[in-house]
A and B are shown apart, each in its own frame.
Chain A
Amino acid sequence: GESVGLHLPTLSVQEGDNSIINCAYSNSASDYFIWYKQESGKGPQFIIDIRSNMDKRQGQRVTVLLNKTVKHLSLQIAATQPGDSAVYFCAEITHYTSYGKLTFGQGTILTVHP
């Protein structure tokens, strides 16, 4: 079946380094992707999104890259801080007529060491 998944379940980095979290998707009809951050004890929180007609989008300290040829998505975090430690999920929106159904990957645990 269609799925959205992550290559690496855990990532440890030093404070100040750049982090790259990867995600593979299998639904070639996917048209919209979101990265979420989930801190311990909280619900997922929106970080950044990208549409399928784009290959790069930048936010504050974060960049999302989309490679539709290989169905790959990545989240880059610049100058990673201890507060960035969390689980990161990529999610795909499947549009059924006008509905937005989110399908999530398994998540990557990012640990930032001071």
Chain B
Amino acid sequence: DVKVTQSSRYLVKRTGEKVFLECVQDMDHENMFWYRQDPGLGLRLIYFSYDVKMKEKGDIPEGYSVSREKKERFSLILESASTNQTSMYLCASSLIGRMGTEAFFGQGTRLTVV
């Protein structure tokens, strides 16, 4: 079974803190994604990566950065957390290139910024 693991289920951080969300996948997938999920807005893409050290901005990259130093690990960084970044964060991975490649999701990290 494909496994995408996010390091925390729940996090509470203070405004202004630097926050790291970690994601690890065990299927040797090239693509990895970070989404945030908010009620009524569905899943919105923050960043994605198609290879080690490669990254592309998604639809809402402002206030976030990412790191992909190893193929299996994709980190989302909130440089200075703000209350409007309170959300559910979902990591996903998929194989590169071929049509019909589904993405596999982690269980999510619910981040609260106070």
A68 contacts B by Cβ under 8 Å: no
**Nearest-CB distance from A22 to chain B (Å)?**
15
Which label, helix, strand, loop or mixed, suits the secondary structure of the A interface? strand
Q: Interface 1/0s, chain A 86-98, versus B by CB < 8 A?
A: 0001010101101
Q: Is A101 an interface residue (CB 8 A)?
A: yes
Whether B42 pairs with A43 at a CB distance below 8 angstroms is no
Instruction: Choose one: A43, A93, A99, A100; the contact of B105 (CB below 8 Å).
Output: A43
In chain A, positions 29-48 with a C-beta closer than 8 Å to chain B are: 31-32, 34, 36, 41-46
Interface CB pairs A-B, < 8 A, 25? A32-B100, A41-B108, A42-B107, A43-B106, A44-B43, A44-B90, A44-B105, A46-B102, A46-B104, A89-B42, A89-B43, A98-B97, A99-B48, A99-B50, A99-B96, A99-B97, A100-B95, A100-B96, A100-B103, A101-B56, A102-B45, A102-B92, A102-B103, A104-B35, A104-B42
Seen from chain A, the residues whose Cβ lies within 8 Å of a Cβ on chain B are: 31-32, 34, 36, 41-46, 49, 51, 89, 91, 93, 95-96, 98-107
